Each structure stands twice: as structure tokens, then as C-alpha cells.
Amino acid sequence: MLDFLWTNEILRLFYISIGVQWVGCTLAVLLHTEKFYDLTGSLTFLLLSQLSYDKSIKSRRQTVQTWMVFAWAVRLGLFLFIRIMKDGEDKRFDKAKQNPSVMFKFWTIQGIWVFVTLLPTLLLNSSRRNPPIGSRDYIGWAIWTMGFVFEVVADAQKTYFRAFPANKGKFITTGLWSISRHPNYFGEISLWFGLYISASSSLSGLGYLSVLSPILVMLLITKVSGIPLLAAAGKKKWGEDPEYQRYVENTPVLIPFIKT
């Protein structure tokens, strides 16, 4: 009976994630805008986390985990929303805005992404197991903290760099960007691995398959919509610049200080 209830609750959260995106997609198509796409994704993270936490036993582990998701979602959601309002557009949607079926795919994929990324937290909050806080929790929380700081600082450094008119059209090579070409992505991947590690203290059986969360984040960033797109754009814009070529040659793609 408990397994049945557990499965039903997880499915309910999945349907909510998809449903929110479809409502957002409808409004986006009607208004011909992509400006609240990322913000809706962040709000869905907040909603699912809160709904799952409301039905949890509210253990210390569940509380810390949920607040970590909250901190990440609020910070990144506001950052991306402010950025797109300032830039006026998101180039990923240049063609999609004119094609409702493509917009539908974009929004549906976001709903699936939110759900899968949150799986460790949703399963943790659905669990009635509450072993004592141990080393696995502290290691996971420490990795999350490191990743969160990396992401926040990297975004802040790039925003500050771009704020100066003299840097218009230039690429950043200072701060965290001197030890990684994508320090914000390194932070993003790290923090989700951290949340999986801490959540795994209360997981069992098939629950460990929620490692798909950080793996999905890593694959999306390194193989699909993150690094590959930025690398192509950077090569197109600065590929003939000797300074850019040296930066690419001497700076690790993702993990600081480690060339791959």
C-alpha cells in the first residue's frame, strides 16, 4: 500500500510539472514571447519541492534538501529573468517562437527536465526512512555549497565584466573564468550531484536510479544545450582571434585546473 501511495504521489508531481509547462506554453504562443520560459521552469522547481515537502515527515535532511533547492531556484530564476528582460530575447527561441509545435516541444522537455532533475529530492521527501545525519549528508551538502558558490560567483563576475562598455564584444578570462571556460556549468553540475549524494542516505532499491538527475544535468550541459552551443558561438565570433585561441588551448573546458 505504501509503495502504491509513493508511486501515485511521484506521478502526481510529474503531471503537475508537465501541466504547468503546457499552461506556460499556451500563454507563450499567444503572446509570441519566450521571456518567462526560464522563470516558469524555476517556479516549477519551487512548486514541486514545496508540494513534496508538505507531505514529508519534515526531517532535518528533508528540510535542508528542500531549502537548498529553493535557494538555487530563486537565485537562478531571477538571474535568468533579469538577463532576458535586459537582453530582450533568448536566441534559442528565434525560430521556435514562430512555430507552436516547436514551442510545445521546448516546454514539454522543460517539464520532464524539472521532474527528472528533482527526482532525488522528490523521492527523499516521499520517504519515511530517516537514518541519522551522517558523512554522506555532509559530503553532499558540502558539494552543493561549493557548486552553488561557483555558479553564483561565476555569473556575477561575467555580469560585472559585461557591464563595462569597454568590454563589449570581448570574452571574459578573469576570476573563475581563468581556471575554467564554463565555471558556472561546473557549479551547476556539482550542486545536483551533491543533492543526490545527500538524498541517497534515505533512498533504497529503485530510488538509487534517481542518480539520473545529476547525470541528465551533466549530459545536457556537456553534450546538448550548454557547452556545445557556446563553444560554437565562441568559435564563430572569436575563432580567428589569437588571444581566444590561447584561452581555449590553455583553459580547462569545465573542471577547474583539469584539462580534458
What are the C-alpha distances in Å from 143 to residues 42, 46, 204? 21, 21, 22
Angle (deg, nearest 10), helices 37-54 and 60-87: 170
- The pLDDT value given to residue 196: 97
Residue 30 sits at the vertex; the CA angle it makes with 24 and 32, to the nearest 5 degrees, is 90
- The pLDDT value given to residue 31: 85
Report the C-alpha gap between 113 and 120 in whole angstroms.
13
**Alpha helix segments (H runs only) across 128-182:** 135-162
Long-range contacts of 59-63 (CB under 8 A, 24+ apart): 59/130, 60/133, 61/124, 61/130, 61/133, 61/137, 61/198, 61/199, 61/201, 61/202, 62/124, 62/125
Per-residue pLDDT of the chain (260 residues; tens, 9 = 90+): 344 445 788 999 999 999 999 999 999 888 888 888 989 999 999 999 999 999 999 999 999 999 999 999 999 989 888 888 887 677 777 777 778 888 899 999 999 999 999 999 999 999 888 999 999 999 999 999 999 999 999 999 999 999 999 999 999 999 999 999 999 999 999 999 999 999 999 888 888 889 999 999 999 999 988 899 999 999 999 999 999 999 999 999 999 988 86
- The pLDDT value given to residue 6: 57
pTM, entire model: 0.91
